[in-house]
Amino acid sequence: MDFSLLLGVLRFLLATTLILVLTIPTAFVVIQMELKIIAGAQLRYGPNRVGPWGMFQSTIHGFKVLAKEDHIPDQADRATFTLAPWMVYMAAAMSMLVIPFAPGAIAADFNIGVVYFFAVLGLSVVGLLVAGWASYNKYSLLGGLRSAAQMVSYEIPLTLSVVGVVVLAGTLNFRELIEWQRAHGWMLIWQPVALVIFYIASLAEINRTPFDMVEADSELVAGPFTEYSGMRFGFFFFAEYVALFIMSGIMISLFFGGWLAPWPFPDQLDGFIGTVYGVVWFFIKTYIFVAIAVLLRATLVRVRVDQLMGTAWKVLLPLAMVNLLVTAAAVLVFKL
């Protein structure tokens, strides 16, 4: 009998379950960081009552959402209304499959990991659009349309900036991308323009301030989430913060050496120790970028819709094109 197939299936099931379970504490941690860092930037203490230093505040929020009434509007399209939070959450959770946490700690080590990641993450826009449409509420629909316009526009510079990285490293596999960075230095040095484009576009892609046009609480109530309550709203909320974690994780994998330590010694260990060491560095780097994104939210105001679209099509896209062209030419000329 062929046990390798069975083992593969088992490994896949275990990995997906672990990833799904991991999303929940991740969301709690990111939300807690959001609460604390924004409070600090506003000269407040932030949550400091639940648990030591208030560290269980976001957890309590999560359970509170579970206990709340789940209401579906009369005029809503029930089937799609109930499906939408699931679509958004699964888009975030599924894209987590290819995140390289550490050597040997990648749930699915594809040879087309980069393509898979951006394809799956792009699915969340479908969920948001469906949520906006199914709610039977003009604010929801406007939010859904904004999400479609914004996320589709920003996906293009986002993906094009990564193409530069891929051309340089010659692989679509996240593990090999990090191995390349181990040999040649972090991609940050080779592709600084791509990093800038990627960072701006990734903020827009996951609807973070200053590009949170989709939610825009002061204009659209809560965008596509207006009519959602209870755990359905919780799924959207979680997905948003999981997406922030994922984007930071992918960015450090692409540009900041992933699980590699910032100095060469001991840049990669073998076996179980190496995995733990990699995981530690991965999380440190990722949460630094999560913190920066949160600090950005405390600092910047929301941009206008026309500024948002103008930036994507008139600045980021040409810049990404030029960057790709120069990278490709350099690869050809210098036989990198």
Partner 1 sequence: MTIPGLGILKGLRQTARNYWAPKVTNQYPESRPTMPDRWRGRLDLIYDPFGEHKCEVCFQCAQVCPVEAIDMSGFDSSGNRIRYGLPEIYDERKDPNAYRRAGLPAMPMRNAARWDEEIDTPWLRGVIDGFGGKPEALVAIFSAVEERYGYLPERALREASERMSIHWAQIFGAAGLGGFRLLPADGHLVTICTCAACRFAGGDALLTALRADLGIEPGETTADGTITLETSDEVAAGALSPALRIDTLVYGPLTVEQGRHVVGERRKAPVRARSGQPVA
- Residues interacting with partner 1, by CB under 8 A? 37, 40-45, 292, 295-296, 298-300
Q: Which CB, 40 or 230, lies closer to partner 1?
A: 40
| Contact indicator for 92, 42 with CB cutoff of 8 Å | no
Q: Which CB, 65 or 203, lies closer to partner 1?
A: 203
Give the angle 67-68-74 at the CA atoms, nearest 5°.
140
Among 100, 12, 13, smallest CA distance to 278 is for 100
Q: Which CB, 36 or 232, lies closer to partner 1?
A: 36
How many angstroms from the chain centroid is the CA of residue 258? Answer: 15
Q: Give buried/exposed letters for 111-130 (b at 16+ CB in 10 A, else e).
A: eebbebbbebbbebbbbbbb
Q: Rounded to the nearest whole angstrom, what is the least distance from the CB of residue 167 to partner 1 in the complex?
A: 26
Q: Which CB, 135 or 311, lies closer to partner 1?
A: 311
Q: Which CB, 273 or 322, lies closer to partner 1?
A: 322
C-beta atoms surrounding 64 within 10 Å: 10
Amino acid at 211: F
Amino acid at 301: V
Q: Which CB, 40 or 73, lies closer to partner 1?
A: 40
SS3 string, 57-71, reads HHHHHHHHHHHCCCC
DSSP state of 314: I
Q: Rounded to the nearest whole angstrom, what is the least distance from the CB of residue 161 to partner 1 in the complex?
A: 16
Q: Rounded to the nearest whole angstrom, what is the least distance from the CB of residue 293 to partner 1 in the complex?
A: 11
Q: Rounded to the nearest whole angstrom, what is the least distance from the CB of residue 319 to partner 1 in the complex?
A: 12
Q: Rounded to the nearest whole angstrom, what is the least distance from the CB of residue 296 to partner 1 in the complex?
A: 7
Q: Which CB, 1 or 301, lies closer to partner 1?
A: 301
Q: Rounded to the nearest whole angstrom, what is the least distance from the CB of residue 71 to partner 1 in the complex?
A: 23
Amino acid at 13: L
Give the angle 201-251-88 at the CA atoms, nearest 5°.
65
Q: Rounded to the nearest whole angstrom, what is the least distance from the CB of residue 36 to partner 1 in the complex?
A: 9
